[in-house]
Structure 1
């Protein structure tokens, strides 16, 4: 079937009225001035107008403007709750969060895998998904400045799909701040950060689409997850989902796809993140 192309052809229909023809060009010559003021008026405004008429028009315009100003409603009272974060602030949030987001490389006998993570605390712990580091092998963490650091697997909770790595704290960036699951609302703007398809330093934006979506995570059935339309693709797993204050509100972990299975179909605008309260509790248990 041929695609429909819009914007071509002549507009028709009962409500369509063609525009009037454009005025002739060049315009007809103006009649010669009949008052001694015409030349002065022409010099200032581009066409002959009497000075008295100009003054009268200005007075009428001023009076009308005064009446309009009097009828203008009072401006709305500004909120005292502080500035509201919006799309214009997201670039600042991304710049502040990105240094603490890492790419994770796993080399094993079965090949090479990639994922994402972020610095969890000042001790050099990095939080990611358990499925990112499945199979073990040589694990490396690549920072935003492209330095590659060796990482040790501290432990993993496959039921929660969480894992913690350890890097040298002196080489690691500052940890991210964490929000609270109770403060997250449907419609909140969010950013997803990570390395989808190996593209390190990728930032995508969207909103929180649902709060407690039952999703199969890990190896022990379904669990409540945040749903977002921020674009999440293979390789984003383990990266942070942050709000407009730069606080982590979830750990990106899964996507819905149309066929293909295994997430190979890419993002269709339905992604899932482990809620922050559960992620923090799980990471602390692994570290202990």
Structure 2
């Protein structure tokens, strides 16, 4: 009897071990694709959740970021001058503009939003399509504007037009797409499938970008406007981008264009230097107001940078919440090589105790060229007590 119980116990034990082994085998096979890791105290948020979505850019931010790649184009013809606009579209230093802006150009001078001046060369120009490409070797590597080559704008889409109407650089107008697939002819150019926009544009706007307010990407090239009413027309970038890429890859040799002319510094002599110096100071404070301290710091001359480190520069402006230029005057040095710009500045500042106060300053800047780039050499300021 005892032997029977002993044998039964052995059999039972063997069966339990057998079933356990089989169970382990199936469980291991089922879960082997899952990796067990240590639990983290930090919750990883799914990037698709609303809280983790990228923060939508404000209109002010879109304008500031876009202006860096929008340029004024000054074209010297045989007996006249033309002013237009353009925008950087790739890392080669290639700028898209209208063909009618650079048609017959002897020299092409490019002015950026930070008041730098470069010499450009037309590397592609349409004969029937009003588009052209200007290459600026010294702008290679700069950040271009993002371009929407596949999207199609709809009536009602909000847009931003940037350019230099009547020579006023860094001008912004807003509106909507008020019509699509418009067609007309302004000899020798044919405009097909263009957008009609309500954003006002005029002479000098030609060649500038039309930007989607929602995405911040370039939709079209501002090309023509009507004298009456807020009606203007822009060429969709998708209609011309293949041709633009072709010119960038294989630049044209164009007869009667890109003739020998004055250098960038020659162009800047005299009153033009005053205007550019004023633009530089304005851009300096635009950068500070956008908290782009790196861009502002790069505008300082090397001597100033040697005296003030970037960290010290940034720390000095952190309490300044907003700075507004209320008055600006400029003059040239006796040799015409430097400009002096004096401004009255109203600054909203945060105090050490967390309160806010408005302080008025008088600041005088000395501005000139360093390695062919316009720079702030010196700045002296004092508090104005009304």
TM-score (norm 2): 0.48
**In the alignment, is the contact (CA less than 8 A) between 2:130 and 2:189 conserved in 1?**
no
Separation (CA, whole Å) in 1 of partners of 2:106 and 2:149: 34
Residues 226-258 of structure 1: per-residue CA shift (max 9 Å, x gap)? 110011111000000000221000000001224
Selected match of 1:156 from 111, 121, 125: 125
> In 2, distance between residues paired with 1:222 and 1:190?
20
Instruction: Say which structure is richer in strand.
Output: 2
Contact 1:155/1:164 (CA < 8 Å) preserved in 2?
yes
Give the one of 228, 233, 244 matched to 2:197: 228
The secondary structure found in structure 1 opposite 2:137 is coil
* 1:246 and 2:216 correspond: yes
For 2:58 and 2:184, locate their aligned partners in 1 and report how far apart those are by CA, in whole Å.
31
Counterparts of 1:166 and 1:193 in 2: how far apart (Å)?
Answer: 20
Residue pairs, 1:46-61, within 5 angstroms: none
Tell me the residue number matched to 1:271: 232
Partner of 1:139: 108
Q: Is the 8 A contact 1:154 1:286 kept in 2?
A: yes
CA distance in 2 between counterparts of 1:217 and 1:175 reads 30
- Residue 99 of structure 2 aligns with which residue? 130
Rounded Cα–Cα distance in structure 1 between residues aligned with 2:187 and 2:240 = 13
Distance 1:109 1:175, change over 3 A: same
Name 2:247's counterpart in structure 1.
Answer: 286
Gaps in structure 2 of 5+ consecutive residues: 1-49, 251-386
* Cα distance in 1 between the residues matched to 2:71 and 2:158: 22
* Cα distance per residue 1:199-250 (max 9 Å; x no partner): 0000110011112111325625441201100111110000000002210000
Q: Which runs of 5 or more residues in structure 1 are unaligned?
A: 1-78, 259-267
Query: Per the alignment, in what secondary structure is the counterpart of residue 139 of structure 1?
Result: strand
CA deviation digits over 1:128-165, x for unaligned, max 9? 00000112111110011111100011120121111111
3-state DSSP of counterpart to 2:110:
strand
Counterpart CA distance in 1 for 2:200 and 2:141 is 27
Where does 1:1-288 land on structure 2 (aligned, <5 Å)? 89-170=58-139, 173-180=142-149, 182-216=151-185, 219-244=188-213, 245-258=215-228, 268-287=229-248, 288=250
Name the SS of the counterpart of 1:279 in structure 2: helix
Could you tell me how far 1:283 is from its partner in structure 2?
A: 1.0
Which string of whole-angstrom CA distances, capped at 9 and with x for unpartnered residues, describes residues 24-43 of structure 1?
A: xxxxxxxxxxxxxxxxxxxx
Instruction: Give the CA deviation at 1:83.
Output: 8.4
CA distance in 1, matches of 2:152, 2:242: 17
- Return the offset for 1:108: 2.4
Q: Which has the higher contact order (CA 8 A, sep 6+)?
A: 1
Distance 2:139 2:226 in 1: 38
SS at match of 1:151: strand
Separation in structure 2 between the aligned mates of residue 217 and residue 120 of structure 1, nearest angstrom: 26
Given that 1:106 and 1:138 are in contact with CA atoms closer than 8 Å, whether structure 2 keeps it comes out as yes
**Alignment size in residue pairs:** 200
Change in Cα spacing, 1:249 to 1:170, as seen in structure 2 (3 Å) is closer
Contact kept, 8 Å, 2:129 with 2:191, in 1: the verdict is no
* Conserved 8 A contact 2:70-2:112: yes
Equivalent residue for 1:74?
A: none
Query: In 2 relative to 1, CA 177–214 (structure 1 residues): closer, same or farther, beyond 3 Å?
Result: same
Q: TM-score, normalised by structure 1?
A: 0.64
> Does the 8 A contact of 1:160 with 1:282 survive in 2?
no
CA distance in 1, matches of 2:118, 2:141: 9
Shift of 1:286: 2.5
